[in-house]
Structure 1
Amino acid sequence: MWLNYFKIAFRNLLRHKAFSLLNIAGLSVGVAVALLIFLIVRFELSFDTFHQKRDRTYRVVNEFTHEAGKDYQVGVPFPFVPALKTDYPQLEKVTTVFEGYNSQITILDEQGAIAEKFKEELGVMFAEPEFFQIFDYPWLAGDPRKFLGEPNTVALTRSIAEKYFGSWQKALGKFIKLDNKQLLQVGGVLQDLPDNTDFPFRLVVSFPTLRQFIDAGEFSNWGSVWSSTQSYLVLPPNTSQAQFDQSLISFLKKHNPDDRNHIYKLQPLSDLHFNTHYPPMTYRSISKPTILSLVLIGAFILVIACINFVNLATAQAVGRAKETGIRKVLGSNRGHLIGQFLGETFFIVLLAVFVAVLLVMAVLPLVRSISNLPEDFQLSFSLEVAGFLILLILLVTVLSGFYPALILSGFQPVQALKSKMTLQTVGGISLRKALVVMQFSISQVLIIATLIAITQMDYVRSKDLGFNKEAVLLVSVPEDSVSQQKLQILKNRFTALPAVQQVSLHSAAPAAGSNSMTNFRFGKASEDAKFPVSLKAGDVDYFSTFQLRLVAGRIYFPSDTAREAVVNEKLLRQVGVKNAQDAIGQTIRINDRNFPVVGVVQDFHNLSLRDPIAPIAILANKSSYRQVALKLKSTSANIKETTRTIAQIWNETFPEYVYEANFLDERLAEFYEGETKLAALFKIFAGIAIFIGCLGLYGLVSFVAVQKTKEIGIRKVLGASLTNIVTLLSKDFLKLVLLANVLAWPLAWWVMQRWLQDFEYRIPIGWWMFAVAGLGALMIALVTVSFQAVKAAIANPVEALRRE
């Protein structure tokens, strides 16, 4: 029986090639989008789910509350974990990790000379042995419980060991140098970490080694919270997170009674990947609302594709009325007919899924570039993927085929055989209109979302940040004391280059990925302000290189150590100073030292536009300089040649270090990498939704034109013009598209208004965005409808009437 159904389905596909192509194309694209989104969401939801103790593993985080609001911190003070181990012996495991940034790894040859140098921006982590008793990362060689408890030891992942030494077996026992400071011996090798983990380490250095990199006083300082210092623990089976959070209040009062601003609490391991306030070490998080948005978009596009099928199938029902009537006369009941038509739909869906899989395999490279899928990600037919495809086939078959099957099987034999069936009596013309409205409403929401997202990102790229970001090259400099003595020589050589306009030594650019925050006291205040200040260190050329705008006073005089301070307007507003000139001559107390305020600069953005501008103090402090900024002349003809010369000078000055440089505007663009990718996905999905909707619209207009062949012929004989005929076939559909626009606007406004809330600085949603999107959709629909309408209108009326 089923074989017979498939034969009939195949014959119908061949008989109605145009409609078959429209159906398969629409379903294929819809299923392909659903499969791609399934792959993305499955990957995002799989992060760190392979650890056996994941359900009881937590990270300690904190909220820092002050007058200006809240800061969310993932770090803890160094003495936090030792105290935790003492006060909570019932904890199954507790560990501290310290994350290193921009670390240099030097490979030594047999004679101890430099063989190779590498720069690891992320991936160096100082860890205690307990870390690997909490997290399940497989080892190829070495016992972390032994060598990670000793100073000056390191473990490498397999790929890093092969990169440094050729093979991981050769790496064991070899020596590397970390940041040209500490000699480390390789004591173990880990298997390469999976792509779906939020711990990006490639080198694990024993935690006792850290004492040689950090000021010894920090290990007993409860007032210093570093985001790099993180604590992870495993709760006993019968202890709840809420109970432990409550106990941490008294724990902090006991060990640091003067701290009234921090609230420590636990963050579940399962939350790391999805929390934008407390992101993982990779800083690559995706919010759950974003995942939900992707799922909804996939569902919407799949629904659009199914609507296409329903519309075209019910429209085609007129042509199959006699077939249904004959089958009923010969004894088929309604159940048999429903089974037959569902079987035909199943056959079409199978073809569509096959095409969809080929589409996914073809576009995966593009999807990887605009999503967070790893570079080597491929479509593999695992049980999960196979199960999803089977579920998708069944779901699409039911959604697409059940209603048309009900319509076709419900025909009365007498009417069907007398050819009394018309488009208006098959399936209800109002239902088809409602489905068209639904299709284009969904498409409109996606178009408006895309337009708003693109406009916001254009605003982000073009907004005046309060400083110069164009043609500024940031070059990292070494931190050791010997290299620090060469910084002025390096600056002088850079300044002498004809293509270089200005050079500055500093701790960080005006806007950077992280900021150094500390307590301060302003003027004659008897206690610290109730909010922190962001500290930046820069020489006297810092202000001219980045074109910071002075609104009162002067910049500080040249000095290797901090003696004077320049603050921003935001700091003055928050301490109650209304006139910038009134701040000149007052003092700001930072780290138990008083600095006279000699200048006030206009506010500039120190983080991304998601965050408000912070109170900022700028000091001259040579020991804090970590970068040199070069403002290149805009008239420089050959940027590549200039940067090559800069690299050569740097390598001559610091031959034992790796050269690393980035343009400031490129670094700032990384702030919005997630939003940029999301905007690109919106563009693609909006285009797909419009494409599928137009396929369905084209098919419906084609069928209406066939149904009205006689009417069109008579109208043309009686003198109707081409415009009259096109209007006849187009006006009803264009009204539906216009209605879809009106229904979509409130939903699109609500969705994008919530999305924009993530930005402290954002565009207003203007009426013109809805008008542009609506007119665009209307024009696309008009072109789609008119193409077939014109074709019907220019047909020879004699041929149309002869067939009647």
Structure 2
Amino acid sequence: MKTILRNLLGVLRRFKFAALLNMLGLSVAFTAFMVIMMQWYYDQSFDTSHPQGDCIFRVENAYEGGAGVVICRPLSDAFAQSSPHIKALALCNPWMGEIFFTVNDANGVKSYKEPIVMTYPSITQVFHFDMVEGSDDVLQAPDKILIPESIARKLFGNESALNKLLKTDFQTLTVGGVYKDFPKNTSLNNPIYLQMGDENLHAWENWNYTCYVRLDKPESREGLFANFKKNFTATGEGASLEGRELRLTPIKDLHFVTDTTYDHTPKASKQALLVLFAIAIVIVIIAGINFTNFSTALTPMRIKSINTQKVLGSEEKMIRLSLIAEAVIISLLSFVCSLGLLYSLQYSFLASLVDADLSISVHPVLISITAVLALLTGLLAGLYPSYYMTSFPPALVLKGSFGLSPTGRQLRNVLISIQFIASFSLVIGSLFMYLQNYYMQHTPLGYEKDEIIVTNLSKEIKDSQEAFANQLKSYSGITAVAFAEPLLSSSDQYMGWGRSYRDKEINFQCLPVDYQFLEVMGVEIKEGRNFREEDKNTQEGVYIFNQKAKESYDLAIGERIEGAEIIGFMPDVKFASFRTEVSPMAFFVWGTRNWGTKANFAYIKVSKGVDLGDAMQHVRATLKSMDPEYPFNIRFFNEVLNSLYEKELNLSSLITLFSLIAIFISMVGVFGLVVFDSEYRKKEIGVRKVLGSTTGQIIVMFNKSYVRILIICFVLAAPIAGYSISRWLENFAYKVPMYWWVYAVAFVLISFITVVTVTFQNWRAANENPVNSIKSE
């Protein structure tokens, strides 16, 4: 062991910089591998924590090409009774969002806003609720609620939460039970649960609910709906299964299903996960190759020492084991350093880019796997060099020409080619991801998105909209205020309406707004007129449809849809995300027969050139003066778009970051090879200088071989990267073209970094006194 440590210290002392770069490369690679695999496992294990999870399914309304995840209540109730294989069914209303409530404690009244879901009491029979306090059957009572442990601690600290009261605008709720929070990577999201009551009990036309069932066994879903449809007896107005199909999707697949509408489940792309997994493996391989290159490149410098050990009686086997042990020790030391890097990343910006918990204690299996990987990396990186170093005859040892041998060149060229192929692929991929995200954020949407402030509204503000708007406009920089039920461009889909028009059924997404909305948002009217204040005095309200709806249903101005008049048409504004194609939609102003809700959001237009910070401060002050307790979410409209594409932005940032890491590690490998290549060729450089070669000519000579490798690697990497990124872009209905210049930029970038690295290192060797170089040989 002493000999191993002595040799290791000798190598580290002699080649300090190269050894430091290699250890840094390995440490960063192991850290990147662990971070990526934490995120990969987070997504792969989504909704797998539920006991009997393989028997839990979401019931979806299937149609050609996909399914809607909303269902009507009477259909779900009839389905629940249709088969003994259905052990429990839970219906949820996912549209309530957050509720505002107050809690009394020793310090007075405190206000909170937390997510709430109205559901059937049987939700605790479909999913297992691990109770901290109380019973899981409390939802049988209409005023009792189930709350997660995280909210209980937030509201009541370490006190018992049982029987504590939450006072809302519509009723006083009593905490009947506290459940242990579900993991972050589940569809349930840890809201407050409240009994649904009798709403829409027989409303076949109201498709507004999410339905889950637990079966006796996974195989029972086959033929379940066919049997239900065969024995179904219609009761109630509109009760019919004609033309309908139900689809049962396993809960573990919900995270990856992309052909659904009105789906609130957090999504991940399997293609993106494969890309992340590949990057994790590639980064470790690149670092391992660098390490192998480093060990192999030391051969000419260490071969005389090894030959001396042989002469002094050391066994070849022991020398090899010693060399392998050195590599393993360096790799394991790098792994230990990577744990320190991983710990520090928990408090860096990187933690916000991943959904997974980066804590070391949460991932003991992954940490153990990475330790084994570090051990294997050391073994593999040391195995070939150790056998190669001990296999030379004394004549070659004295000659010291390994560095220029065809075998040595071939090995190094193959290894560095793998690094270049990976670097090209990652750069091309990250550039296209950046372009797609930029396209989604900056492409014209058909309405104004700059100088707009949006805020949610409390009941107090909803009841005093005119006073609120007037107080806002007392600030000279605010020119107009509009109100709407939805938050534009915050979702993939919005409220869907089915209506009768010219004796046929039409379906469109409806966004109720006030009469000023289109003017404030700068939406163009192509045909007809804009909304007017008197439109709210009509009985049924008025529509302005997009071109897609007009063309799909042959709509005409002046026609009525169940009493509501069509008054205009607008271009196909991008009201939803770029993940979905523009569909038939309408902005709608409610009439006097208003069964909808009051506006949920205010859109505040700020004049160009006005200090947006001052305008934002005025909005905050106005809201606080009218309702000081309510937690308003005030933001610029651009932040809404950023939130909509947060997953894509984070993924793009991650891949870009890890691409840079891969490039860094690859350049470390190039640097190491160039360092030792220049050492091998000192005599050649000296001879060329004596024969009249200039420094520039020698540098060009060194760069030529690397440029040839770069060209070959680029030709191999371009189609791989192009195929991978085209698959990722399939997740978007609107996407950037496969620009040729992206490939050119990637080639120029990697080539520039490589040429600069080679030139920098060989400048000194090319400028040395040729006499010294020749003498040294």
Superposed CA offset, 1:602-645 (max 9, x none): 11012111111111122211644423433433346443443343
User: In structure 2, what is the equivalent of residue 116 of structure 1?
Assistant: 110
Contact 1:475 1:629 in 2 (8 A): yes
Report 1:472-487 matches (<5 A).
Answer: 472-478=452-458, 486-487=464-465
Q: Determine whether 1:704 maps to 2:677.
A: yes
**Compared with structure 1, are the counterparts of its residues 248 and 793 closer, same or farther at alpha carbon in structure 2 (3 Å cutoff)?**
farther
* Paired amino acid for 2:516: D
Distance 2:314 2:243 in 1: 78
By how many angstroms is 1:776 displaced?
Answer: 1.0
Deviation at 1:332, TM superposition (A): 6.0
Taking the aligned partners of 1:92 and 1:264, their CA distance within structure 2 comes to 18
- Per-residue deviation, 1:724: 1.4
User: Helix, strand or coil for the counterpart of 1:148?
Assistant: helix
Whether 2:570 is the aligned partner of 1:601: answer yes
Query: Is residue 163 of structure 2 the alignment partner of residue 185 of structure 1?
Result: no
- Does the CA contact (< 8 Å) of 1:105 and 1:176 recur in 2? no
TM-score between both structures, scaled by the size of structure 1: 0.89
What secondary structure, in the 3-state scheme, does the structure 1 residue paired with 2:402 have? coil
Query: 1:172–1:382: structure 2 CA closer, same or farther, 3 Å change rule?
Result: same
Shift of 1:29: 1.9
Match of 1:538 in 2: 513
Asked if 1:410 is matched to 2:388, the reply is no
Give the letter for the 1:26 counterpart. G
Distance 1:484 1:447, change over 3 A: closer
Q: How many residues align?
A: 766
> Matched residue of 2:518: which SS?
helix
Which amino acid counterpart does residue 124 of structure 2 have in structure 1? F
Shift of 1:648: 4.1
Find 2:119's aligned residue among 124, 127, 135: 127
% identical aligned pairs? 25
Structure 1 residue 220 displacement after superposition: 1.1
Give 2:183's match in structure 1, choosing from 173, 194, 197: 194
Question: How much does 1:652 deviate?
Answer: 4.9
> How much has 1:466 moved relative to structure 2?
0.5
Look up the match of 1:580. Answer: none
The one of 623, 630, 647 equivalent to 2:603 is 630
- Higher mean C-alpha displacement, 664-673 vs 333-342: 333-342
Look up the match of 2:526: 551
Report SS of the residue matched to 2:361: coil
Letter of the 2:503 partner, please give it.
Answer: S
Distance between the aligned counterparts of 1:84 and 1:400, measured in 2?
61
TM-score (norm 2): 0.92
Q: Decide whether the 8 Å contact of 2:332 with 2:378 is kept in 1.
A: no
In the superposition, relative to structure 1, how do residues 18 and 488 fare at CA in structure 2: closer, same or farther (>3 Å)?
closer
Distance (Å, rounded) in 2 between the aligned partners of 1:202 and 1:536: 26
Please show how residues 328-407 of structure 1 align to structure 2 within 5 Å.
Answer: 328=310, 335-364=317-346, 365-374=348-357, 377-380=358-361, 383-407=364-388
Aligned match for 1:90, one of 78, 85, 92 = 85
Residue 499 (structure 2) aligns with:
520
> 1:456·1:763 contact (CA, 8 Å) conserved in 2?
yes
The 1:401/1:723 distance shift into structure 2, 3 A limit, reads same
C-alpha distance 663-382 of structure 1, shift in aligned 2 (>3 A): closer
Root-mean-square deviation (Å): 2.9
Unaligned runs of 5+ in 2: none
Alignment of 1:490 with 2:468, yes or no, is yes
The structural deviation recorded for 1:322 is 2.8
1:212-250 per-position Cα deviation (integer Å, ceiling 9, x unaligned):
xxxx4x221223222xx2222221137343343554554
Kindly indicate whether the alpha-carbon contact (under 8 Å) linking 2:221 and 2:248 is maintained by their aligned counterparts in 1.
Answer: yes
Moved more, 10-19 or 311-320: 10-19
1:612–1:760 contact (8 Å) kept in structure 2: yes
> Residue 538 of structure 1 aligns to which amino acid in structure 2?
V
Q: Does 1:459 align with 2:459?
A: no
Q: Deviations over 1:354-402 (max 9, x none)?
A: 222222222333321111135xx42227540342123212331243223
How far apart are 1:440 and its partner, in Å? 0.8
Against the structure 1 CA distance between its residues 114 and 382, is the aligned structure 2 distance closer, same or farther, given a 3 Å change threshold?
closer
- Structure 2 Cα separation of the partners of residues 565 and 279 of structure 1: 23
- Structure 1: distance between partners of 2:402 and 2:650: 48
- What residue in structure 2 maps to residue 434 of structure 1? 414
Q: How far apart are residue 484 of structure 1 and its match?
A: 5.4
Deviation at 1:280, TM superposition (A): 11
1:1-20 matches, cutoff 5 A? 4-20=3-19
Which letter does structure 1 place at the counterpart of 2:156?
F
Q: Within 5 Å, which residues of 2 pair with 1:117-156?
A: 117-120=111-114, 123-145=115-137, 147-156=138-147
Deviates more, 1:709-718 or 1:156-165: 156-165
The corresponding residue for 2:583 is 614
Q: Secondary structure at the match of 1:490?
A: helix
Residue in 2 that maps onto 1:306: 288
Q: Residues 254 and 649 of structure 1: is their aligned pair in 2 closer, same or farther, counting only changes over 3 Å?
A: same
Distance 1:158 1:89 in 2: 34
Which is further off, 25-34 or 461-470?
Answer: 25-34
Amino acid at match of 2:559: Q
1:158–1:189 Cα contact (<8 Å) kept = yes
In structure 2, relative to structure 1, the CA distance for the partners of 1:254 and 1:325 (3 Å cut) is: farther
* Whole-Å separation in 1 of the counterparts to 2:408 and 2:511: 70
Distance 1:681 1:505, change over 3 A: same
Structure 1 residues 710-740: Cα deviation after superposition (integer angstroms, max 9, x where no partner): 1211222222211012122221112212322
